[in-house]
Amino acid sequence: MELRVVEIDAGATYALRRRVLRDSWPGSEVAFAEDGAPGALHLGVIDGDDVLVAVASFSPEATPHRPAARAARLRGMAVEPTVQRSGAGRRLLEVGADRLRAAGFELLWANGRDSALGFYRRLGWQVLGDGFRDANGVPHHVVMTEL
Ligand SMILES: CC(C)(COP(=O)(O)OP(=O)(O)OC[C@H]1O[C@@H](n2cnc3c(N)ncnc32)[C@H](O)[C@@H]1OP(=O)(O)O)[C@@H](O)C(=O)NCCC(=O)NCCS
């Protein structure tokens, strides 16, 4: 499958965030306060028909796990269900990491859903600390990779 990573604006991420990450909470918010933060970056993957099939957002945010590092946080990582396991998530994080590294960031981290930890581990990320649940009760761990 032909997959191309492009920069998009925050609003273009909302439909996939809602469909993939908020499917069990249809009324809940899909905009994040960090979406418009200085330095925020939104990337998408488009397929051969120019359909947006995956999104991810990055913004500057330190982590208590490495407070001195210049860190960026990943949020809203969502791949269209019919396209999952086709390499779109990997491509997004590779391009995101390249862009962040070039901008001087040292670290990328996220609150990763436990159901996605295998994905982050496969890409060489570390899983840190104790597990926790988000406001919707979904189990998570902090995940992190050096840039
Ligand atoms: C998790 C998610 C972002 C991964 O993206 P993806 O495009 O499906 O993943 P890729 O095809 O790039 O996978 C890269 C590697 O990770 C593996 N992988 C992907 N998802 C996995 C999972 N949930 N568990 C274990 N391994 C996984 C793939 O098999 C692949 O391995 P390979 O290198 O041996 O081929 C995507 O499946 C998704 O949107 N899931 C639902 C929402 C979600 O959980 N988002 C993340 C919230 S933190």
User: Does residue 112 have its Cβ closer than 6 Å to ligand 1?
Assistant: yes
- Which residue range is the domain that position 32 belongs to? 3-146
User: Does residue 100 have its Cβ closer than 6 Å to ligand 1?
Assistant: no
Report the separation in Å between the CA atom of 83 and the middle of ligand 1, taken as the mean of its atom positions: 10
What's the average model confidence in pLDDT over 131-147? 96
d(CA 39, CA 114): 28
- What is the phi/psi pair of residue 77, to 5°? -80, 110
CATH number of the structural domain spanning residue 28: 3.40.630.30
34: left (phi over 0), alpha (psi -120 to 50) or beta: alpha
4-57 pLDDT tens trace: 999 999 999 999 999 999 888 877 889 999 999 999 999 999 999 999 999 999
Q: Which of 26-30, 99-103, 115-119 has the lowest mean pLDDT?
A: 26-30
Pairing verdict, β 71-79 and 52-60: antiparallel
What's the average model confidence in pLDDT over 108-114? 98
42-99 pLDDT tens trace: 999 999 999 999 999 999 999 999 999 999 999 999 999 999 999 999 999 999 999 9
Domains contained in the chain, number = 1
Report the separation in Å between the CA atom of 115 and the middle of ligand 1, taken as the mean of its atom positions: 9
- Is residue 94 a contact partner of residue 112, using CB atoms and an 8 Å limit? no
